[in-house]
Chains A and B, each alone.
Chain A
């Protein structure tokens, strides 16, 4: 889930809907690659 700012309610709601991870803007290409690497480590990905 791409978010403009951290917010507990947004993240909680998205997690309940199945979001795996959050990426807060602004982010760098390195942040993005690290997040995708994390997703790849998750067993259901």
Chain B
């Protein structure tokens, strides 16, 4: 990586020059930002060594002592839960899915609008539902209350 790429490598949605070809790398550019967030969460740090055309080494340093009592304990308790993400923005859905599925071990289901959300909620009965507040494209310009109510009720009555 160049010095400029190295400085930006942990930015969300940043994709570096793939091998100096001028083409952007594949993916959404979220992976390393998530890694950095998790390292920060554990009070660690991440170091980067890189030269153009020579490859890159990432070094993650984590404290050996246990984290403060209570840290992430609740997250661990609900690991494996089914989660439904409802948002018309695929980047937001991907960000949440990548973080919760790959990192935290949740089972993710996605919906782009409220109608699809109700269908998925009835079928999958998620424990957690992330809803975009306006649910555009689903029930017209449905107010937030209706958006929150419909999939939650669907999840409960299934």
List the interface of chain A (C-beta within 8 A of B). Answer: 1-4, 10-11, 13-14, 16-19, 23, 25, 28-30, 32-33, 36-41, 45
Pick the contact of B99: A10, A32, A39 (CB < 8 A): A32
A38 to B130, CA, bound (A): 14
Asked if B28 CB lies within 8 Å of chain A CBs, one says no
Q: Does B146 contact A (CB under 8 A)?
A: yes
Q: Is the interface of B mostly helix, strand, loop or mixed?
A: helix
Residues of A contacting B130 in the complex (Cβ-Cβ under 8 angstroms): 1-2, 23
Q: Name the contact of A32 in the complex, choosing from B100, B133, B147 (C-beta under 8 A).
A: B100
The distance from the CB of B156 to the nearest CB of chain A, in whole angstroms, is: 10
**A11 cross-chain contacts in B, Cβ below 8 A:** 144
Kindly state the separation between the CA atoms of A31 and B82 in the bound complex, as whole angstroms. 19
Q: State whether B96 touches A45 (Cβ < 8 A).
A: no
From A1, A2, A10, A41, contact of B92 by CB (8 A): A2
Q: Is the CB of B133 within 8 A of A30?
A: no
Known: A14-B144, A28-B33, A28-B37. 17 other contacts (CB 8 A): A14-B147, A17-B144, A19-B148, A23-B130, A25-B92, A29-B34, A29-B37, A32-B95, A33-B38, A33-B103, A33-B104, A36-B100, A38-B74, A39-B78, A40-B74, A40-B78, A45-B128
